[in-house]
Structure 1
Amino acid sequence: MEVLVGRQPIFNTHEEVVAYELLYRRNESNQFEQVDSDNATIQVLKNSVFTIGMNELTNGLPGFVNFTENLLMTNNIIDLIDPSTFVIEILEDVPITDQLIMRIVELRNRGFTIALDDFVLRQNIEYYNTLFANVDIIKVDFLSTPKSGRAIIEERVKNFFPHIQLLAEKVENRTQFEEAKAANYSLFQGYFFEQPQIIKSVDIPMNMLQYFEVMSLLKEENSNVQEIAEKIEQNISITYKLLQLINNISRKKSKVRSVKQAIVMLGLIELRKFLYLLAVDEGLADEPSDVYIELMRTSIFRAKICELLARKKNKQNYSEYYLVGMFSLIDTILQRPIQLIVQQLPFSEVVIETICGRETEMTIYLQLSIALTKMDLEKANQLAKELGISTADLGYIYRMALEYTKSSI
């Protein structure tokens, strides 16, 4: 399934790109469609973090994302994004209340940068003092806000809130750009610089039955992390997106050696939020094609073969061998270069090297799993002999992996 995100660069006074605004797009018309605002933001975050990946989407620069009042005031979504990666844009229709300001203070204390979108002073200026003291960026629409309206905001910021960066939106020509610079704007966005680009990628279809089985395990009073991990491991879509999330929010960029480790790092509460986010709109997705189903079946089969072989050879890191097999076809599934994909996954160096096709100690395990997938028994027996795996053991491993794959897909 193809997914899209609109991306428009934000420039500084030197006309250098310093951030991007991320925009909801349902098709390639590059126009915003009428859609529930909550859902639009959730889709942007899902596609940015779990499918395309922020490294590829913004080249490591911050991404501005619109937040409705509902999403702003709850933690379900905000807890799953990295403050150093996203700028929270508060939409212009969000009511300014004491509760909102308290929430902004809390989010800034957590490291988030807060921007006011399409800001216009509509009430007594004094009402905004506390708000201005606690935001970082104010976006002003140069196309629709009259010069007199802009001047009130500009003077207020200049005289009383110099910490605020002013961002000029919808700048359409050089004259407006120079005018904004003269009025102390430091950030700029609009068609004068570049219209939004459509960034495309391919999503991995999610087996909803497995999804509900995972959710059922999470609802148990004493949830068993091992059981949850084993169920998630059967679903390449959830596994891939979970690892993307860990890579995005982990400050230390820890290497993940198993799905169980990823769950422990995230925590069960955050795992529930993550799964909730994945399910939004999933029911509207197209049924996966036969090609996708076969690719996922092959990936799971390879994964289990690699794991069982590693267990047989007493490898302590057998879970990493599982990941090697599972992600050996990820470039084909996502239709993207493997070098880009592995940049967004928190794997150890040896796993990355193996997946990228370079020779490692894991390579022979992956090659054997591929030979069994193709039923190339001559090559499979040759590789098994090199590993010291008997024909009887290889047959048993093959049958176990086959049963596991049938129960997974």
Structure 2
Amino acid sequence: MNPSSSEIFVARQPIFKRNKEVFAYELLFRSSLANFFDPSQVGGEQATSKVITSSFLLIGLPRLAGGKKVFVNFTEDLLLRGFPTLFPRHEIVVEILEDVRVSRQVLAACEALVRRGYVMALDDFLFGKNLLPLVGLARIIKFDIRQLSREGLARQVATVLRHNPKLKLLAEKIETDGEFEYCKKLGFSLFQGYFFSRPKIVSGRDISGSKLHYLQILRLIQDENYNFEQLATIITRDASLAYKLLKYVNSAYFARAQEISAIKGAVIMLGENNLRQWLSLMMLSYIADDKPTELLRQTIIRGSFCEQIAGLISPQPADSGPFHTAGMFSLLPAMLDKNMADILAEISLAAEVVEALLDRGDGMVTLALRLVIAYEKGEWQMAEEISRMLRIDFAALPPLFARSLDHLEAFDVSA
């Protein structure tokens, strides 16, 4: 089955620096049915061309990368045809796939890129003497830590640094904070994986006083008996919140012809449901203040994506609230370093939201959250299967993801 031209599935995965701030995003094309390059359906060359078309021309790099660099895989043929030079050197990292042959033509193409100021990375690297010319040209080498033992990884690192001490090392498929810390000790400076969104749970540790305060406000906001005027009062009493609200409602996301300068006007424009959502996200930003900024970015995207999927399931806007809440609260464990069940004991939420956050059953909200997480990870087969369960069009998801990125931009999450 060949994906139709309308099915533009591009996943992004953050690449972190040692301080857990985002250095870049890797953009990967996936066929519409699989989370890998399937040579029988879409060859590597066509896959990379589709990344280029989708991300740079159709979806737009600012949406996907938010001003960060992007890593894009290039096949041997695309390298030889000069495709990387179509893009500004300050926006892209040219990632050489592990199956590229080290021929004279490939080396000449890589040398030309380096002379023009492009950054080159070697993907899924395993040292061999035939790769030494590429090691000398590369600025970044990526190691898949799942392919090697710790001892084997240490030997590979020592070998490549002996040949090129200026290299930056990138560890990919980091799943735990322990793996992150170990790779830091080995000398890695870049890290890729889902470790940042997993909680570091310490038995018996309480939620800190300031975070507990914000969590209590979050609980009030979710209480439907807490009326519109009381929500507005929370904002008017906090100058920082008031400033952020005005900045939000005047962002390009809302495409307003005239600027709103009064808090009352901003509150009325948003309406109660949107105000409740925005205020909840602000409280989450305070709760996650000591966490990687990407965690908050992911929270905003999940909430928006879940809410839009609700629109595919039901045309009634009032039905989308639980979906948005589930997406928005799904990363609370990583923000608070607590189990989800313990956190939910502190907040009063609708039963369908609780079920989704605990990943129980096959309710609509639960399935929508699973779908968003599968899409986020590029697990396309899983995403398609869940779409069928929800009876929604799988091909309708990419525009919703792009719209979620627009929503993220409206919040102006820095760093």
TM-score (norm 1): 0.45
- TM-score (normalised: structure 2): 0.45
From the CA coordinates, give the structure whose radius of gyration is larger: 1
